[in-house]
Amino acid sequence: MTSGSDRQTAPWAIHVIILLAVVVPLVVMAWLVAGIEATGPKPGAIEATSRPIILAQPKLIRPRTVSALASRFESVGYDLESVRGNEIPPAFVLVRLPSDWQREMPSDVRKSLFFRSILPLVMQVNGEIAMERDRLLALRDNARLPDRDRDWLRRTAESYRALDAKTGEIDWDTLLQRVDLIPPSLALAQAALESGWGRSRFAREGNALFGQWTWTKGDGIVPADRAAGKTHSVKRFRSLLASVRGYMKNLNRAGPYGRMRVARTKLANQGKPFTGRELAGYLDKYSEEGQAYVKKVRAMISVNQLGPLDQLINGR
């Protein structure tokens, strides 16, 4: 007898080993490709055609002063020019604007700080929407879902007003049309316009960046110039991030913005990027100013060179 270390491998065994080394990887690769094709999008399905930059490990920041906020940005070399040049914004989640935000400062300084403060919040919420959408697509064609997934699916469809109350059926086309991304340039432009660069009373007292109305008693701030007979308030939020979430949910499910969602889906299905400037054209119902408001939003995007920031959701 020979020990294990002295055994000689038979010639036929060597050939078998070589054959397995060549064939097995090819079989595995073919299986993986088949699996990818089998789970790919169905013809005519509404799918995501772009992926946002999802900020890793968001960090809550609460600078008490404008100077402290500026120092935080400078410490990591964060400026809009670098983001336009393909850098990723830091994962800073500003809880609220500094208490001295109202102080006098050059307009270009205020604009830069405002946009840099709000952009990571916009990306954070877009990342949340992207993950929500991915989960919906993964669950859509699965007839045997665990109770946890089924409950989540129902809650999500109901939240986006895509659930038939009588039958409990999900309107998938409507749901996927509504769970989609908002261009950063559009969000930043509207935040600046609606909050007066963060100086409005609603932004100061209620973290309200987008002037959303509410009719729930105690849920908002009554406008000083509210017309007689009106009962609305401007909705307050516990944080700036919550305000951005509310804004995106509003655009993604409210009736007046249906044309915007249809246009966004059409562009995505054509493999084209959707931009803030283009989608702004469908927001004439956002303000009583109508088309004049659309022009203001587009001008804000153009003058402040916000368009290139849309690359963060449209691929890089």
Confidence of residue 95 (pLDDT cuts 50, 70, 90): very high
Whole-model pTM: value is 0.81
Name all domains of the chain by residue range, CATH numbers in brackets: 59-139+180-314 (1.10.530.10), 140-179 (no CATH)
Q: Tokens 């609220």 — which residue?
A: 96
Residues 231-248: tens digit of each pLDDT? 677 788 999 999 999 999
Closest among 280, 285, 309 to 296, alpha carbons compared: 280
Single-letter amino acid code for the residue at 108: D
Provide the CA 84 distance to its chain's centre, in angstroms.
18
| CB proximity list for 89: less than 8 A, separation 6 or greater | 55, 78, 83, 116, 119, 120, 123, 312
Half-sphere exposure of 125 (CA within 13 A, CB side): 23
Residues 113-145: tens digit of each pLDDT? 999 999 999 999 999 999 999 999 999 988 789
List of long-range contacts for 194-200, beta carbons under 8 Å, 24+ apart:
197/110, 197/111, 197/114, 198/97, 198/101, 198/110, 198/114, 198/117, 199/101, 199/102
